[in-house]
């Protein structure tokens, strides 16, 4: 019953109160995952994720008999992991009964075969600009906007463009931040951190509400199974061994640094950086390429961390920040290393992965 608080807030805005006139139609709007099926989980509190989203969708469907449409934009860059993410997301849509879902350029970029697989798993009605650009759901027309063409005439238009359409038309667009519900322009936000519930009455939008998928929203058991299956597939397909690697120089390993930099090494050993891979193992993400790069040394570099030799270059080491240093270790005076600062920290400690990260406060923990 962790969801009770977010839903209690809805009642204040009229949701749950059917009104005296006619039966309202509720519509859940999700989308904009952009490859983020789960919050990073490294620090607390973390918001969002497929499992929380599924729980909230299930509750809203039960409580309000709500229809569910997904605005797409599920993945970010093309690749096998994105394909697995798309299938896991589509599986959850199918299991929870999505009414309609958008095929956006991000899904399209994965190729026709993946669109076929997505359609098979999601089971709802695909809004695919190539085939069908609108659908009627409970008396409301939901359409998808095709870039460069007139959008489908609809009560709800799924669009990549936040510009308002004609009066009375609800525009759903992906946003770079939190979920928004501003008059007839709504967005489920980015990275599955929220969703939007719309209430229509007599065919008109009378209320919209952005719901944040906060930590108090529990995980949905069925979606958890689908997500675990996704992680198993990432592991069994050994995606972490197949990452593309570039030439970034030769790595020496943190032990090489200890001889000349004993104080810095001591600080490092006491820090969370030295246990970064153990943290991943605990949450079964140690074979997830999305996570490993910030929990190891040189994951995207030739000669860097590889799951084939999991002990070498695991954890966040000296070279994670200072770069490949084998040359420096061999000839320190000839090959000097660049100093690094806040900017380097922020490559991993982003607002999404480390929402509580404050450079001045956190630097004090590893000052060396």
Partner 1 sequence: MISALVCLVALGQKAPAVDYSVPLGASSQFHETVNLVKSKLTAKDFAGAASLAKLLPQSVISYRFNFAKVPKDLIESYKQSTSFAVASWQKSLDGKATLVEAKGGVPNILISFEPVLQKTPDTNEVPGVAIFYGASSAEPRVEAVIGLKRTAQLTETTSAEVFNEAVYGIGSYLGLAPSPVPGSVMGRVNGKMVGLNLVSKEEGFVAEANLKLAKALRVAALAKTVVKPTKPQLAVSDKVLQFKSAFQGDTVYEFVTVTNKGDAPLKMRAFGDCSCISGDVIPTLQPGESAALKGRYRTSELTGDVEHNVVLVSNDPDQPTQKFAAKIHVEPRAEVIYPASDTLVLDGDSRKTTFYIHSAEPIEWSILAAQLVPLDSKVHYEPFEGEVSNWKDGGKVKRVKGYKVVADFSTLKDEQVFGRIMMTVYIALSNPNLKLVRAPIFIQRGIVAQPERIYLGAPTGPTDSNFTLSRPGKPFKILSTSCDSKFVSVKVTSSKQDAEYTIQAKYDGKAPEHRLDTQIRITTDDPKQPLILIPLATAQS
Binding site for partner 1 (CB under 8 A): 21-22, 78-80, 83-84, 87, 90-91, 94-95, 109, 111-114, 116-117, 119-121, 134, 136, 139-141, 145, 147-151, 153-155, 159, 161, 163, 165-168, 171, 201-204, 225-226, 228-229, 232-233, 236-237, 242, 244, 246-247
For the CB of residue 218, give the shortest distance to partner 1 in the complex, in Å.
20
Contact 94, 70 (CB under 8 A): no
Q: How many CB atoms lie within 10 A of CB 120?
A: 12
Considering the complex, state which of residue 114 and residue 192 has its C-beta at the smaller distance from partner 1. Answer: 114
156's CB contacts (< 8 A; 6+ apart) are 27, 29, 69, 140, 141, 142, 143, 169, 170, 172, 198
Considering the complex, state which of residue 76 and residue 271 has its C-beta at the smaller distance from partner 1. Answer: 76
As a whole number of angstroms, the distance between CA 297 and CA 299 comes to: 6
Considering the complex, state which of residue 147 and residue 332 has its C-beta at the smaller distance from partner 1. Answer: 147
* 3 state SS of 247: coil
Considering the complex, state which of residue 247 and residue 333 has its C-beta at the smaller distance from partner 1. Answer: 247
Tokens 């063409």 sit on residue? 149
For the CB of residue 59, give the shortest distance to partner 1 in the complex, in Å.
21
Residue 97: cis peptide before it, omega within 30 degrees of 0 = no
Considering the complex, state which of residue 180 and residue 264 has its C-beta at the smaller distance from partner 1. Answer: 180
For the CB of residue 50, give the shortest distance to partner 1 in the complex, in Å.
14
Considering the complex, state which of residue 22 and residue 62 has its C-beta at the smaller distance from partner 1. Answer: 22
For the CB of residue 315, give the shortest distance to partner 1 in the complex, in Å.
25
Residue 337 tokens, joined: 């290393």
For the CB of residue 260, give the shortest distance to partner 1 in the complex, in Å.
33
Please spell the DSSP secondary structure of 173-216, one letter per residue: ---SSS-EEETTEEE--STTSEEEEEEEETTEEEEEEEEE--TT
For the CB of residue 98, give the shortest distance to partner 1 in the complex, in Å.
13
As a whole number of angstroms, the distance between CA 204 and CA 69 comes to: 17
215's CB contacts (< 8 A; 6+ apart) are 44, 45, 46, 47
Considering the complex, state which of residue 201 and residue 279 has its C-beta at the smaller distance from partner 1. Answer: 201
For the CB of residue 244, give the shortest distance to partner 1 in the complex, in Å.
4
254's CB contacts (< 8 A; 6+ apart) are 265, 268, 297, 315, 317, 318, 319
Residues facing 26 on adjacent strands: 199
């Amino acid at each position: 019953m962790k969801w009770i608080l977010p839903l209690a807030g809805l009642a204040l805005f009229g949701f749950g109160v059917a009104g005296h006139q006619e039966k309202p139609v509720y519509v859940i709007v999700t989308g904009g995952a952009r490859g983020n099926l789960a919050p990073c989980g490294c620090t607390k509190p973390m918001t969002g994720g497929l499992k929380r989203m599924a729980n909230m969708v299930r509750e809203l469907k039960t409580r309000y008999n709500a229809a569910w449409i997904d605005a797409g934009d599920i993945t970010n860059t093309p690749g096998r992991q994105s394909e697995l993410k798309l299938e896991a997301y589509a599986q959850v849509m199918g299991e929870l009964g999505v009414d309609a879902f958008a095929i956006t350029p991000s899904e399209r970029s994965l190729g026709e075969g993946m669109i076929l697989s997505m359609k098979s798993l999601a089971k709802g009605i695909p809004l695919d600009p190539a085939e069908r650009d609108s659908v009627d759901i409970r008396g409301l027309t939901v359409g998808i906007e095709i870039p460069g063409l007139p959008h489908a005439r609809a009560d709800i238009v799924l669009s990549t463009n936040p510009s308002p359409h004609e009066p009375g038309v609800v525009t759903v667009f992906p946003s770079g931040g939190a979920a928004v519900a501003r008059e007839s322009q709504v967005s489920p936000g980015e990275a599955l951190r929220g969703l939007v519930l719309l209430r229509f009455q007599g065919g008109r939008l009378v209320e919209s509400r952005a719901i944040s998928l906060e930590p108090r929203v529990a995980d949905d058991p069925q979606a958890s199974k689908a997500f675990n299956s996704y992680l198993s597939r990432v592991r069994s397909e050994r995606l972490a061994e197949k990452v593309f690697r570039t030439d970034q120089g030769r790595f020496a390993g943190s032990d090489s640094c200890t001889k000349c930099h004993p104080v810095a090494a001591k600080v490092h050993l006491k820090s969370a950086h030295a246990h970064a891979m153990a943290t991943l193992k605990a949450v079964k993400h140690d074979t997830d390429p999305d996570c490993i790069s910030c929990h190891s040394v040189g994951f995207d570099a030739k000669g860097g961390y590889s799951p084939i030799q999991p002990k070498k270059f695991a954890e966040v080491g000296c070279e994670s920040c200072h770069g490949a240093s084998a040359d420096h270790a061999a000839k320190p005076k000839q090959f000097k290393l660049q100093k690094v600062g806040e900017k380097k920290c922020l490559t991993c400690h982003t607002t999404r992965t480390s929402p509580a990260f404050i450079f001045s406060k956190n630097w004090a923990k590893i000052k060396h």
